[in-house]
Amino acid sequence: MRAIEFFDHMEIYPGSKTKHFKELHKKTGIPYSEMLFFDDERRNKEVEALGVTFVLVRKGLDAGTFEHGLGEWRRRHPEEVIEDAAGDDVTGI
C-alpha cells in the first residue's frame, strides 16, 4: 500500500501551509490541535500559530522522526484519553 492511500483529504498545491490547514479544518472539522504536520521547510512552522503540531523533517520521514513527532503531539495532549490500536482507552499518554 502506498503512503498516499492512508489519507482521506489532501491539500497539495503551492502556497501557504496555513491556507492548506485552514482548508483541511474546514473540510473535516478536525481541530487544529489534533493535527500533526511533518515538513522539510522550516518556514512552514507558521502553522503552529493555528495550533498544529509541526515537526521539521531534515532527510525524509523515518521511523525515528515519526516517533519524535508523535511524542511532541502527545506532550501537548497529556491529559487526554487516547484510544490505542486495540481500541482500549489509554490515559495520560
| Tally of domains in the chain | 1
* Joined grid coordinates for residue 81: 484519553
Please give the pLDDT value at position 11.
81
CATH number of the domain encompassing residue 11: 3.40.50.1000
Please give the pLDDT value at position 83.
55
Question: Which residues, at least 6 apart from 21, have a Cβ–Cβ distance to it below 8 Å?
Answer: 11, 32, 35, 37, 47, 50, 52
Q: Which residues of the chain register pLDDT less than 70?
A: 79-93
CA atoms within 13 A on the CB side of 78: 1
Please give the pLDDT value at position 13.
78
Please give the pLDDT value at position 93.
42
This prediction's pTM: 0.76
Q: Which domain holds residue 51?
A: 3-91
Question: Per-residue pLDDT tens for 1-20?
Answer: 787 788 888 888 788 899 99
